[in-house]
A and B are shown apart, each in its own frame.
Chain A
Amino acid sequence: EIVLTESPGTLSLSPGERATLSCRASQSVSNDYLAWYQQKPGQAPRLLIYAASSRATGIPDRFRGSGSGTDFTLTISRLEPEDFAVYYCQQYGSAPFTFGPGTKVDI
């Protein structure tokens, strides 16, 4: 099973600042099949990024995914008030299709 570790656990920032979230895998993620999701309280997750760096439909270009192999990054270039949420990475290259523990981005 691929274990995903996200860091930091919590990121305290202000609107307009840049957020850099890390996701590290215990072994190489096949085909860089790594997705990022945003989740707000009481809501289902929302797909942001797939295949490590492809933005999902309707996702603003301030969200950027990068990385390969075992190290991946989600960068939010300038935080908007609606971006304060929990972010999860997920690998879908090999079963079980595991999620990371999440990074909370708060004010």
Chain B
Amino acid sequence: QVQLVQSGGEVKKPGASVKVSCKASGYTFNTYGISWVRQAPGQGLEWMGWISPYNGNTNYAQKLQGRVTMATDTSTSTAYMELRSLRSDDTAVYFCARDAEQWLALPYFDSWGQGTLLTVSS
């Protein structure tokens, strides 16, 4: 069965960087896009960006441009999301999520990681 397993929670100071991993199993990794979605405490869902493991193409939310980088390692079926210049309002649970349809680059999601809590605090 499809599984996305994320790295553990992080506590960072403002201005620092964080890198969250998402290890996929149960399917052919490079045939489905991966998005990152975050959820601030008690708030809704925010799409951060998408990456194709097949060719590395990315599409980032404009508000995060310049601060976020998404990457994949097809040899280990792992996706990564790095966020830099952290601020207190980056405190959130970060989810990786797999496109529901193979190859089509339609970012709606049938499988999700368990979430990684990032706390940004001085």
Q: CB distance B47 to A47 under 8 Å?
A: no
- Contact size range, A: 20 to 34
Residues from chain B with Cβ under 8 Å of A92 in the complex: 106-108
Q: Is the CB of B108 within 8 A of A50?
A: yes
Question: Which residue numbers of B lie inside 8 Å of A, CB to CB?
Answer: 35, 37, 44-47, 50, 59, 61-62, 95, 97, 100, 106-110, 112-115
27 contacts between A and B (CB under 8 A): A1-B62, A33-B106, A35-B108, A39-B45, A44-B95, A45-B95, A45-B109, A47-B100, A47-B108, A47-B109, A50-B100, A50-B108, A56-B100, A56-B110, A57-B110, A88-B45, A90-B45, A90-B108, A92-B106, A95-B59, A96-B47, A96-B62, A97-B35, A97-B107, A99-B44, A99-B45, A101-B44
